[in-house]
Structure 1
Amino acid sequence: MTTKIVKINHPELKDFIQYFIFFKSEKDEVINYTTFPNTNLCLAIYKKNNVVLHRKGSINQCTTLQGTQTYLSYLVGFHKTAFQMSVQAPIDEICVLFHPSALRLFTNVPYAEMQDSNEVFQMIFPNSDRCFLEALFEEQDDQKRASNLEFLFLKSLKKDLHSDKIKEALDVINSKKDNKLDVATIAKALAVNESTLYRLFTSQLGQNPKSFLKTIRFRNVLEELLTYQKVKLTGIAHQSNYADQSHFIKDFKDSTGQTPTQVKNKTKIQQEELAWIYTEK
């Protein structure tokens, strides 16, 4: 399977969309990969694939099979545990990775509706005709595919759908790098009560603030773990505001299903952007 990450070119979109990923395989091969909890959302668009999602409790799996329906699209993200993907058929998949809360600049459809749909692309772009997707998948040049997507997103940009309060909340979170933030502190900084903050995060970002903060702490830990050749788990635990090393390892295993050492040894970095465990049979 070929994997190509294309970064955003248009300056007006860089704060909202992280990058595009293009997955393609024309062979009958089994490919398994695992990604980890993150704060972004992904719009995944498939051509002639059947997608089986299994998300219940600690199980977070997706199997891609051969399908007959021409186009399917899903909204995935905000995983509490590792996301395990099994590709068992030829695949042509386009993914759009959004920065936190950025999807709200393009649609006001409730997150719950999008997460239960296999036609999310049509929900976000109700005025886009079928010809756009046909042309998008017929185009073989990934840079041109990315340019066509950027043009579509620019036409659909509606900044009035975005709350200034959520931007303020994200600024508060980004300004603190010691992982000591909690919901009460953010609510106080925004001069709102905690119930209002929960409603704000759920409607604008799609995830409650407590879960969002936990994911940010995990991503900071993962970055620390993967960046340096030698790391001491006690140091990461202390730096990340865990009570002790055993608490840190338990929390990490809850998020990944593996120990920090196992993840460090197995994880590959794709184009300096995508951290995943990838196996091809």
Structure 2
Amino acid sequence: MDYKTFQPHPDLESLISCYWTLEIPKTQDTQRQRIIPDVTIEMAFILGDDIKRFTSEDSFIIQPRAMVLGHTIAPFYIEPTGYVCTFAIRFYPYGFANFVTVPIKTLENTETPLAVLFEEKTAKKLEQDIIHAANTKQRIKIIESFLLNKLNEQATVNNIVKTTIDTLLATKGSTSISQILKEDLSKRRQLERMFIKQIGVSPKQLGKLIRLQSALKAMLNEDESLTNIAYQNDYYDQSHFIKDFKEFTGVSPKEFLGNENMTLSSLFYK
């Protein structure tokens, strides 16, 4: 597997976490990969063979070749049908709302073709330009031109939403919403409404996902016990950590480590 990340243009770095590419040679023995929940929204272009996403044990859809994958709050399985070559844009939780007018909640746990979110002719041209670009550098130039033009057309995300997310990211999800708002209940109700509209999930749920991602990264990159990782990420104890881990991934931390079906998810956290 060849996974690479690239940094965005300075005018987009507050909205985009990174661009990434993934290339996997075709093999005879393809395996389903469990994808765990993420706080980000991604725009992806499938440049290789089709990729299946399973909707049940035996049923699947073919992912659109130019799509936006909204917030995922439950794990799901994908399986390549051959050669994998993907170019994608990873937006911060509040990032993508600056480029579209549809409610972000409608994108949750689903793949939405670009032609549904943008004017069809524009979306098709973008897809073809990305497909026929000579390399990743050209693809980044194409998508940045598209996004910078769109950014000028859209209203920006409310400042209280951005400030809350920035705090959650900076503290790895360990700061409570009450602490951020300093117990102002009227602001909390307002924040809840704006989060659902502009981010697609509640602030509490987003905080839990950010904290889990921090713990998962520590699991994969540090030689620490689960108990130490739990305390370092402000879980009450190891059992609290395991409970949250199972809620979002469907497996325990020990089951996650060394599981061949988790190879792709693990790659994104190393």
For the superposition of Structure 1 and Structure 2, which TM-score range results when normalised by the shorter chain? 0.7 to 0.9
Q: 1:256 aligns with which of 246, 249, 260?
A: 249
Q: Which residue in the other structure is 1:279 paired with? A: none
Is 91-100 or 160-169 further displaced after alignment?
91-100
Q: Which residue in the other structure is 1:22 paired with? A: 21
How far does residue 219 in structure 1 lie from its aligned partner after superposition?
Answer: 1.0
SS state of the match for residue 10, structure 1?
A: coil
Mapped to 2, the partners of 1:208 and 1:252 lie a distance apart of 18
Amino acid in structure 2 at the alignment position of 1:34:
R
Q: Which residue in the other structure is 1:35 paired with? A: 35
Q: Which residue in the other structure is 1:141 paired with? A: 135
How far does residue 89 in structure 1 lie from its aligned partner after superposition?
Answer: 4.4
User: Residue 233 and residue 140 in structure 1: after superposition, are their counterparts in 2 closer, same or farther (change >3 A)?
Assistant: same
How far does residue 201 in structure 1 lie from its aligned partner after superposition?
Answer: 0.8
Q: 2:168 aligns with which of 173, 184, 190?
A: 173
Q: Is the 8 A contact 1:64 1:88 kept in 2?
A: no
Q: How does 1:45-84 map to 2 (within 5 A)?
A: 45-46=45-46, 49=50, 52=53, 54=55, 63=60, 65=62, 72-84=65-77
User: Residue 15 and residue 269 in structure 1: after superposition, are their counterparts in 2 closer, same or farther (change >3 A)?
Assistant: farther
Structure 1 unaligned segments of length 5 or more: list them.
277-281
Q: Is the 8 A contact 1:35 1:275 kept in 2?
A: no
Q: Is the 8 A contact 1:62 1:84 kept in 2?
A: no
Matched, 1:220 2:214: yes
How far does residue 39 in structure 1 lie from its aligned partner after superposition?
Answer: 1.2
Over the matched positions of the two proteins, sequence identity in percent amounts to 21
Amino acid in structure 1 at the alignment position of 2:155:
D
Matched, 1:200 2:194: yes
Output the TM-score relative to the length of structure 2.
0.79
Matched, 1:275 2:262: no
Amino acid in structure 2 at the alignment position of 1:157:
L
CA RMSD of aligned residues (A): 3.5
SS state of the match for residue 14, structure 2?
A: coil
Mapped to 2, the partners of 1:185 and 1:105 lie a distance apart of 27
Structure 2 unaligned segments of length 5 or more: list them.
none
How far does residue 112 in structure 1 lie from its aligned partner after superposition?
Answer: 3.9
Q: Which residue in the other structure is 1:156 paired with? A: 150
Q: How does 1:92-171 map to 2 (within 5 A)?
A: 93-115=86-108, 119-126=112-119, 128=122, 130-158=124-152, 160-171=155-166
SS state of the match for residue 12, structure 1?
A: coil
Mapped to 2, the partners of 1:265 and 1:77 lie a distance apart of 27
How far does residue 92 in structure 1 lie from its aligned partner after superposition?
Answer: 5.1
User: Residue 8 and residue 189 in structure 1: after superposition, are their counterparts in 2 closer, same or farther (change >3 A)?
Assistant: farther
Matched, 1:10 2:9: yes
Output the TM-score relative to the length of structure 1.
0.76
Mapped to 2, the partners of 1:25 and 1:241 lie a distance apart of 36
Q: Which residue in the other structure is 1:246 paired with? A: 239
How far does residue 38 in structure 1 lie from its aligned partner after superposition?
Answer: 1.9
Mapped to 2, the partners of 1:37 and 1:204 lie a distance apart of 18
Mapped to 1, the partners of 2:218 and 2:134 lie a distance apart of 37
SS state of the match for residue 250, structure 1?
A: helix
User: Residue 64 and residue 141 in structure 1: after superposition, are their counterparts in 2 closer, same or farther (change >3 A)?
Assistant: farther
Is 260-269 or 4-13 further displaced after alignment?
260-269
How far does residue 157 in structure 1 lie from its aligned partner after superposition?
Answer: 1.0
Is 122-131 or 5-14 further displaced after alignment?
122-131
Amino acid in structure 2 at the alignment position of 1:154:
L
User: Residue 82 and residue 237 in structure 1: after superposition, are their counterparts in 2 closer, same or farther (change >3 A)?
Assistant: same
How far does residue 41 in structure 1 lie from its aligned partner after superposition?
Answer: 0.9
How far does residue 274 in structure 1 lie from its aligned partner after superposition?
Answer: 1.5
Amino acid in structure 1 at the alignment position of 2:166:
D
How far does residue 123 in structure 1 lie from its aligned partner after superposition?
Answer: 4.1
User: Residue 251 and residue 137 in structure 1: after superposition, are their counterparts in 2 closer, same or farther (change >3 A)?
Assistant: same
Q: Is the 8 A contact 2:74 2:248 kept in 1?
A: yes
Q: Which has the higher strand share?
A: 1
How far does residue 120 in structure 1 lie from its aligned partner after superposition?
Answer: 3.7
Deviations 1:201-244 (A, max 9, x none): 11111111121011011012112212212x12222222333333
